[in-house]
Amino acid sequence: MSNKYRYDHRSQKHKKRHVFIVLIISAIVVAIFAIVILILINQTTKKIKVVSGPTEQVGVVTGNPSTSTKTVDEPNYTFQLPVGWHQIKNVSLSTVNYITWESFVPNATNRYFSIYSDPIPPTLPVNKELPVEAHGSTISFGSLSDNCANFTNSGGTKSIVPVIAKWQDVNFYCNSPNFADNQIGTGTTTAINSVEVVGPMSGAKHYFFLYIDRNSSPDYSILYSMLDSFQAK
C-alpha cells in the first residue's frame, strides 16, 4: 500500500508540471505571434510615406491680376482680358460709343477698362496720359505720364474745369477738378483721345482706351497687356 501511495503522488506532480510547461509554451507562442504582428505593422507603416511636392497657391490673389486671360471678341476688334474681369456696360449713342469691363478679382477690384470707338468725346479728361501709335491693325504705346496736376499751368490752384495739358507732344484734357483720381487715357500727337487703327475687314476706325485703377498700389501692367493684345478686325 505504501508503494502505491508514492506512485499516485508522483503522477499528480507530473501532471501539474506538464500543465505548467504547456502554459509557458503557449505564452511564449502568443508572445512571439504578437511580436511578429507588431513587426509586420511597423514595416507596413514605413512603406506608406507622405510625399510633399512644390507648394502652390491656387486661387489666391495678392493684389496682382491672374496671368490667365480670355479673349474678348467684338465686331471690330479683339483683345485679351484677364480672367475675373467682366463686362459691365455697353453704351451706343449718337454722342458716345464704348464698352466697359470691371475687375471682380478678389483683393484686386476698383479697376476698370473701357474701349471707346466712333464717336469719342474729345474733351473727356484723364489724370495720366499714355501716348499710343497705330501699326496697321495693332497699336504700340510709349511712357506713362505722371499725374497731370503736377505739370499743368494751373498756378498751383485747383481748377474747376479740365485744362489742356501736354505729355510727349500729346495733348489731352487734364482732370484738374478731380486731380486725386487715377484715370489713364490714350492719345496721339495728331489727335486728343483718339488713335486711328486700320483693320483688314473693318477698315479705319478711331479708338480711345481708358483705364481706371483706384487701388493703393495701381498695376499698370494690366493696361499694357490689354493694349498689347488689341487687334482690329
> How does 162-173 read in b/e, with b if 16+ C-beta sit within 10 Å?
bbebebeebbbb
Which is it for the CA torsion 82, 83, 88, 93, positive or negative?
A: positive
Average pLDDT in the 149-153 region?
Answer: 82
Closest CA to 79 of 42, 108, 117: 117
Is 180 inside any structural domain? yes
Q: How many domains are contained in the chain?
A: 2
Question: Do 165 and 228 share a structural domain?
Answer: yes
pLDDT band at 70 (very low <50, low <70, confident <90, very high): very high
Is 77 inside any structural domain? yes
Which domain does 173 fall in, by range?
A: 69-232
Q: Which three cell numbers stand for residue 68?
A: 490667365
pLDDT band at 154 (very low <50, low <70, confident <90, very high): low
Question: Do 34 and 84 share a structural domain?
Answer: no
Is 56 inside any structural domain? no
Is residue 96 packed enough to be buried (19+ CB in 10 Å), middle (13-18) or exposed (0-12)? middle
pLDDT band at 172 (very low <50, low <70, confident <90, very high): very high
Is 184 inside any structural domain? yes
pLDDT band at 48 (very low <50, low <70, confident <90, very high): very low
Question: Do 36 and 2 share a structural domain?
Answer: yes
CB count within 10 Å of CB 60 equals 8
Question: Do 76 and 182 share a structural domain?
Answer: yes
Residue 171: pLDDT above 50?
yes
